[in-house]
A and B are shown apart, each in its own frame.
Chain A
């Protein structure tokens, strides 16, 4: 099992108020109790009992913290590098840009792949959200949002709708249609309502639910049809910048990263914060689950990417180099989890070997920050969206050599990598 929330009781009568509610599995001094979130809050906000002071509570926190660190240390018996010695070394990777999608008039802020492995939705600063067929580079649909800075966009699992949001504090769902001339904005549905900007959104396993994260410090799960709030997640002390849903068989958890340098893992059903990692030095711009669901990687403004192990409850690897000084904006894993692609604010993309911790390749080509990066659902390519208004789809380029120019698309063949560097920077 990938997560321990699989077998936990999460709905039923609360131990203190006996109402049927989503339950959090808590402990009072090693005694397990099941409280609903309201009772938990009441317990936390109870007035100080006799003999308790703020100081004694803080002291208790310190002892608990120390105990936790001790326990984790006991389980920490080997480093990733040691275990990874058995893994074979990677050959040289030669990535080429296969498609360049031009059409946005302003910075591309976010992008997502469709489950059919070839369509992409991307959103930009001027409020335009475009659905492309990246294989043929055709634009299929375009929507103009009434807001600028559309920082989050997502494709529905069925491929029939897209969700996007940004400075309007809302997440709107647009059902897509086959009719090219139809005005998509007419069928728009406003789903999420936050009190500050929307930083990330994703559909869960169906079109009917959306998970959103916002600058107001909360994440929330919404029902698309009714716009109802199903569950909200509080715990970050600053903006929540990113979130990712677990790919595990149970799909019960998600991880969110925020401006408070913490990455928190939440249980979707009860809203409980089950794990928290705070080893980053600056805000976390992006979090992504490992394909098996047992770990996740995070990209931060302190120019490092880190891998956190969920089962051992600790950070296992840091991907950083002295020569990389600018913040990382986006990460994603390749299908096997061996490669970690990270887009940085110094216009480059670094490819890391997850197991050995070394950098495998550095890719150039963008003329401004790489704001979002995703690997396609079957792992055949990855797409990077940048503030230079373009999206680039890249793949390994062993042995295929040709160069073609077609319309607004430039395809690069194999050859010395220096030649691939875009000459448009002038």
Chain B
């Protein structure tokens, strides 16, 4: 475990705006005078604002350039506006792309998000102060709140701020009217993006900072893969010899690890997809109906653990592999039934007991290992499992000081035995064949509109998983008692066996 010695346990590095690099390339293309979006001059109350673009034109341009649908282009356009690359002229607070004649302008690169990040409070204070002077105290309510807050916070620096603001105000007056209007709009747009009004979300909101800055180019990624147990507080790897050694250890074991040919593994994927195609509710409509669409949970009820006769689809799924069979609770019940007939139920019982030990609480390990030894492994045990001598020896030796993985070897052996032998016998057995014949093919639901509405009103709340769990535990306890070997001596002692 790494113990960091950094005093500041907060996260500092600003994150993942790597996407903006591509967005900026795109925006630059948009502004290209020849192939970009066509702009025009706009007359706004006497002044003429150059290079104004129209929402519709932007949308059309994005559609042609990226070859996407209008919806997608709309979504992307809105992202551009939300990040502040394009700003609306009239309704300046609503940062969406409206695909009609609403007017927009490109933001100057000076105000792009990546350039001036993070937006400093002091800059904001200067801006608000300047607006205050210009508007003679008439700021928007949220701006007024910010202003008051900053005034409290930055009180010591306030003289400097006011001085800056007055300087900028005077400098602004010297500019020509169109320039002044444009600059004003740009700055206002910038601050709407970085200090959004109450109850509107900002695209600048990225959540929490990461601990290490992934955008830093301090290390060359193509260099040695670095594996270390200690993250450097500097944010990049200092390649000491132990780091390199660890890399070498990793690489040697990677080399010795056998890999499979691409053709083999990729064909396996395609095979998996094809065999499971009929079981995927997104590709094949489930029968009787998808509960989320028709609001009837019959589908879940027919596939539950305690149902008498399973559906044909479930049975087909069990045939696909041993793992599918035992992961489906109903399938496991069926398999156990078959094992009972074969008198090899102890295999499954041992597997389950070993799984319980592996994934169970650490405090229960000694007790469980004792139980398992007495029931399954001791010579002459009531449910003795048939494993080879070497594995048995290893396991028994390990049980002296039990830990959670002590049964791994035995469990693997039994699992492979069940998978390679018992499973195939199960598939040929009358138990299974009978189940295949009896399996239900439920008729697909056809609901009228009225029935659908009724379904919505009467949605079944179902059984709480806690109750189901309690039921299952009770069943397990009953089964455990039934599986315990009959103690003949005790029965004789209590005169249950009538010898007459």
* A residues 365-392 touching B (CB-CB < 8 Å): 367-368, 378-381, 387-388
Partner of B262, one of A67, A75, A216, A223: A75
Q: How far is the CA of A217 from the CA of B240 in the complex (A)?
A: 19
Q: How far is the CA of A115 from the CA of B279 in the complex (A)?
A: 17
B19:A44 contact, CB within 8 angstroms: no
**Is B486 part of the contact surface with A, judged by Cβ < 8 Å?**
no
B303:A378 contact, CB within 8 angstroms: yes
B263:A83 contact, CB within 8 angstroms: yes
Partner of B260, one of A45, A262, A291, A312: A312
Residues of A within 8 A of B282 (CB): 93, 334-335, 338-339, 379, 395-396
**Is A144 part of the contact surface with B, judged by Cβ < 8 Å?**
no
B361:A224 contact, CB within 8 angstroms: yes
Partner of A312, one of B208, B259, B300, B461: B259
**Is A424 part of the contact surface with B, judged by Cβ < 8 Å?**
no
Specify the main secondary structure of chain A where it touches its partner. loop
B269:A290 contact, CB within 8 angstroms: yes
**Is B265 part of the contact surface with A, judged by Cβ < 8 Å?**
yes
Partner of A61, one of B26, B248, B355: B248
Residues of A within 8 A of B356 (CB): 206
How many residues in B have their beta carbons less than 8 Å from beta carbons of A?
A: 127
Residues of B within 8 A of A126 (CB): none
Chain A nearest CB, measured from B400 CB (Å) = 10
Using C-beta atoms within 8 Å of the partner chain, give the interface range for chain A. Answer: 35 or more
**Is A112 part of the contact surface with B, judged by Cβ < 8 Å?**
no
B249:A40 contact, CB within 8 angstroms: yes
Residues of B within 8 A of A12 (CB): 398
Q: How far is the CA of A205 from the CA of B226 in the complex (A)?
A: 32
A395:B262 contact, CB within 8 angstroms: no
A197:B263 contact, CB within 8 angstroms: no
Q: How far is the CA of A146 from the CA of B231 in the complex (A)?
A: 28
A136:B276 contact, CB within 8 angstroms: no
**Is B462 part of the contact surface with A, judged by Cβ < 8 Å?**
yes
**Is A226 part of the contact surface with B, judged by Cβ < 8 Å?**
yes
B231:A217 contact, CB within 8 angstroms: yes
Q: How far is the CA of A2 from the CA of B341 in the complex (A)?
A: 31
B262:A346 contact, CB within 8 angstroms: no
A326:B75 contact, CB within 8 angstroms: no
* B residues 293-313 touching A (CB-CB < 8 Å): 293-295, 297, 299-300, 303
Known: A93-B282, A239-B211, A323-B68. A58 touches B244 (CB 8 A): yes
**Is A393 part of the contact surface with B, judged by Cβ < 8 Å?**
yes
Q: How far is the CA of A283 from the CA of B214 in the complex (A)?
A: 7
Smallest CB gap from A10: residue in B = B405
B360:A208 contact, CB within 8 angstroms: yes
Stretch in contact with the other chain, from B3-11, B30-38, B50-58: B3-11
* B residues 451-478 touching A (CB-CB < 8 Å): 452-453, 456, 459-462, 464-469
Partner of A336, one of B262, B276, B290: B276
0/1 string, A126-155, CB within 8 A of B gives 1: 000000010110101000000001010000
A11:B406 contact, CB within 8 angstroms: yes
Q: How far is the CA of A312 from the CA of B267 in the complex (A)?
A: 12
Smallest CB gap from B252: residue in A = A27
A260:B214 contact, CB within 8 angstroms: yes
* B residues 277-300 touching A (CB-CB < 8 Å): 277, 279-283, 285-286, 290-295, 297, 299-300
Q: How far is the CA of A269 from the CA of B407 in the complex (A)?
A: 13
Q: How far is the CA of A154 from the CA of B401 in the complex (A)?
A: 33
Smallest CB gap from A278: residue in B = B225
Q: List 11 A-B pairs, Cβ < 8 Å.
A: A45-B242, A117-B300, A160-B469, A205-B355, A206-B359, A223-B361, A225-B362, A269-B408, A303-B22, A338-B273, A362-B69
- Residues of chain B having any CB pair with chain A under 8 Å: 1-4, 9, 11, 15-16, 18-19, 22-23, 26, 66-69, 71-72, 75-76, 79, 96, 201, 205, 207-208, 210-212, 214, 221, 224-229, 231-232, 237, 239-242, 244-270, 272-274, 276-277, 279-283, 285-286, 290-295, 297, 299-300, 303, 322-323, 355-356, 359-363, 398, 401, 403-406, 408, 412, 415, 419, 449, 452-453, 456, 459-462, 464-469
